[in-house]
Amino acid sequence: MKKIVKIGLIGWGTVGGGLVKILKTNAHLIEERLGGKLEIKAIADKDIVSPRSIEIDKKLLTTDVESLLHDPEIDIIVELIGGKEPARTYLLEAIKEGKHIVTANKALLAECGEIFKAAGKRGVNIGFEGSVGGGMPIIKVLKEGLVANRMEAILGIINGTANYILSRMTSEDKDFQEVLAEAKRLGYAESDPAMDVEGTDSAHKLAILASLAFGTRVKLNDIYVEGIKEITQADIRYAKEVGYSIKLLSIAKENQGRIEARVHPTLLPQEHLLASVNGVFNACFLTGDAVGNILVYGQGAGEMAAGSAVAADLVDLARNILSGTPHRVPVLTYPLGAAKMKPMKETLCRYYLRFSVLDRPGVLGSISNLLGKKDIGIASVIQKERREEDIVPIVIMTHEAKEENIRIALQKIDQLAVVKAKTMLIRVED
């Protein structure tokens, strides 16, 4: 019986380094749990010269990816270079060669259904625990732990950078730009933070989670996305005043056969467990028809946390390989057809609206009339006396309303002469 599973690693960067450290440090323990050995046979990267934080046998390193893909001894290809190309080409080639693959590449998985398709056709398996939520075993929880549930909802804080920025804006009274600059300095935000603060990274991950949860392929384009750049200190303070925290939430729900999927800043009640998830941590709050509510929380990034997820995938695939059944859990537990999505304009939720208006009599009346015409009820209002400025904020929390109606109403309201800036809208999740 085969006792060694050989691995080819593409990408000798942060997560790759973490993975190698874990496989080295915990080699004995993993062997005991697996009943076999995981061996890194080769590591390919464009740059194999720059020093890394871990020592390895130089003979393992190569710049020739092809030599890994075509090495008949290699059972599993681990792809940790990220981005769509050349990762896509490498993985498709590895699959063609009959190798199982492990990847943490959320962009690729969210946008290229063909990877799953090719793997299914060729009969190889894909591990992708590392693609969402760093060290949290959220893919396994959804795919196996909650396998007997019809999933109803996912609420996720799945971008550590955005959560770090909002957490510090909340705890320290600082503005978005100021916190972002600090996050960059501390290495919590990349030099180009667009993917994180604009919500794209969250949407990639939500596409993966929602597809698994609802058993249908939710594509990136199916997801409504709004980032956190426009959130101001004023919004954070008003939210706090009414008992809410602002989080960048990734939300997916299924209702009567239709799926809604959206990423946007969200007012979340302060007593909600997700409201206590601060800093770079990630968490997913899942609702299943049998299990009720489940929360999984952990470090969303970092070489060791992400390495832990990739290593768990390797053990999983190795268990299959060693027992001779690579297909034990199907690559996909859902068909690849298009999901039946609920258009964003049909979404129902409560809204936080911050109007910037001239301090004149009758302004609140005009606004509430226009809201009322589109069936939007007002749950609470904050309007404070101001002495120095002429432009004052009015904050309204609405009852549940339809997105389409809110948009129409705001368009009209923003045209009023007394309204001096675009109204800030933040959705509420109770």
> Going residue by residue from 304 to 323, which x/- string records binding to a copy of itself, judged by CB under 8 A?
xx-xxx-xx-xxx--xx--x
Contact between 327 and a copy of itself per CB under 8 A: yes
Using CA atoms, how far residue 261 sits from 153, 154, 383, in Å, is 10, 9, 33
Closer to a copy of itself at the Cβ: 90 or 285?
285
Stretch that binds a copy of itself, among 16-24, 175-183, 191-199, 356-364 (CB under 8 A): 16-24
Instruction: Exactly one of 6, 99, 106, 205 is catalytic; name it.
Output: 205
Closer to a copy of itself at the Cβ: 166 or 309?
309
Stretch that binds a copy of itself, among 94-102, 109-117, 282-290, 339-347 (CB under 8 A): 282-290
Closer to a copy of itself at the Cβ: 220 or 294?
294
Closer to a copy of itself at the Cβ: 146 or 209?
146
Closer to a copy of itself at the Cβ: 229 or 334?
334
The string of DSSP codes covering 305-316 is HHHHHHHHHHHH
Residue 297 CB, nearest distance to a copy of itself (Å)? 4
Q: Which helix (H) or strand (E) holds 407?
A: helix 403-413
Stretch that binds a copy of itself, among 47-55, 98-106, 294-302, 343-351 (CB under 8 A): 294-302
Residue 425 CB, nearest distance to a copy of itself (Å)? 29
Stretch that binds a copy of itself, among 48-56, 114-122, 287-295, 358-366 (CB under 8 A): 287-295
Contact between 329 and a copy of itself per CB under 8 A: yes
Q: Cα 187 to chain center, whole Å?
A: 19
Candidates 10, 15, 23, 218; binder of a copy of itself (CB under 8 A) is: 23
Calpha distance 359→346 (Å, rounded): 34
Q: Which residues within the stretch 210-269 sit at the binding site for a copy of itself (CB under 8 A)? A: 215
The answer to whether 15 and 80 have CB atoms below 8 angstroms apart is: yes
Is 205 noted as a catalytic residue in this protein?
yes
CA atoms within 13 A on the CB side of 273: 12
Calpha distance 153→245 (Å, rounded): 20
Candidates 67, 89, 276, 369; binder of a copy of itself (CB under 8 A) is: 276
Closer to a copy of itself at the Cβ: 8 or 298?
298
Contact between 33 and a copy of itself per CB under 8 A: yes
Write down the residue that tokens 């990267």 correspond to: 45
The 3-state secondary structure of 24-82 reads HHCHHHHHHHHCCEEEEEEEECCCCCCCCCCCCCHHHEECCHHHHHCCCCCCEEEECCC
Handedness of CA 384, 388, 393, 394 (dihedral sign): positive
Which residue stretches of 242-282 are H helix?
none
Candidates 54, 60, 294, 378; binder of a copy of itself (CB under 8 A) is: 294
Beta strand 258-269 pairing with 244-255: antiparallel
Q: Which residues within the stretch 169-198 sit at the binding site for a copy of itself (CB under 8 A)? A: none
Calpha distance 205→58 (Å, rounded): 35
Helices (H) and strands (E) in the chain, counts: 15, 17
Stretch that binds a copy of itself, among 52-60, 98-106, 156-164, 295-303 (CB under 8 A): 295-303
Greatest Cα pair distance in the chain: 84
Residue 427 CB, nearest distance to a copy of itself (Å)? 23
How many residues does the structure list for the chain? 430
Contact between 32 and a copy of itself per CB under 8 A: yes
Contact between 35 and a copy of itself per CB under 8 A: yes
Residue 90 CB, nearest distance to a copy of itself (Å)? 24
Q: Which tokens sit at 85?
A: 């190309």
**Is residue 31 exposed (0-12), middle (13-18) or buried (19+ Cβ within 10 Å)?**
middle
Q: Which residues within the stretch 118-157 sit at the binding site for a copy of itself (CB under 8 A)? A: 129, 135-137, 140-141, 144-150
Calpha distance 239→352 (Å, rounded): 8
Q: Give SS3 for 237.
A: helix
Closer to a copy of itself at the Cβ: 172 or 271?
271
Residues recognised as catalytic? 205
What are the residues binding a copy of itself (CB under 8 A)?
18, 21-23, 25-26, 29-30, 32-35, 129, 135-137, 140-141, 144-150, 215, 271, 273, 276, 283, 288-299, 302, 304-305, 307-309, 311-312, 314-316, 319-320, 323-325, 327-330, 333-334
